A = this chain, B = another copy of it.
Amino acid sequence: MILKSQVEWALHCCAILAGLPEGRYLSTKALAEFHGVPKEYLSKALQSLSQAGLVHTTLGPSGGYRLAGTPAELTFLDIVEAVEGKARTFVCNNIRANNPCRPQGYCESGACAVARVMWEADEAWRDKLRSVRLSDLIDTLAKEIPAELWKSSFEWVLERAG
């Protein structure tokens, strides 16, 4: 069970978009080049972010993506769920229902106890992702990335932002 690589791409892209000046947009092409990933496929991830309402888009030359809100309003969970979907990672196929000792027409009282535990773990995962905002990531990156690289990356983006 491994998350799509698009999740990683989307997170990094949002981190870049978070540094974009007000009203500017960055294209799929620029984001793909910056991260060294295939443009066409990255486009699908960005469309997922768009459909989830996390980013705004504009068409035409100088078009592209910008965050729909502030980095503090966007959580890791928002981004992960936009790309990966909101479905639980554990699917209950209710195999207890195959128990040969069950009386005919027996009706379940509630969700399977096994599934409930797995779903609680799933929720713990989501809770953690919900607790980290994009702005937290930016703060961390600002501390860890050398000032020189931070600056040149910002300029690289500005040159291509419409």
Measuring CB to CB, which residues of chain A are less than 8 angstroms from any residue of chain B?
1-5, 7-9, 11-12, 15, 33-37, 76, 84, 87, 89-93, 95-103, 106, 109-110, 113-115, 117-118, 120-122, 124-129, 132, 137, 140-141, 144, 149, 152-153, 156
Contacts A36-B95, A127-B124 given; does A114 touch B15 at CB 8 Å? yes
Report yes or no: A34 in contact with B127, Cβ–Cβ below 8 A: no
Which chain B residues lie closer than 8 Å to A2 at the CB level? 1, 87, 89-91
Looking at chain A's contact residues, is the secondary structure mostly helix, strand, loop, or mixed?
Answer: helix
Could you say which residues of chain B place their CB within 8 Å of the CB of A5?
91, 93
Nearest CB of B to A33, in Å: 7
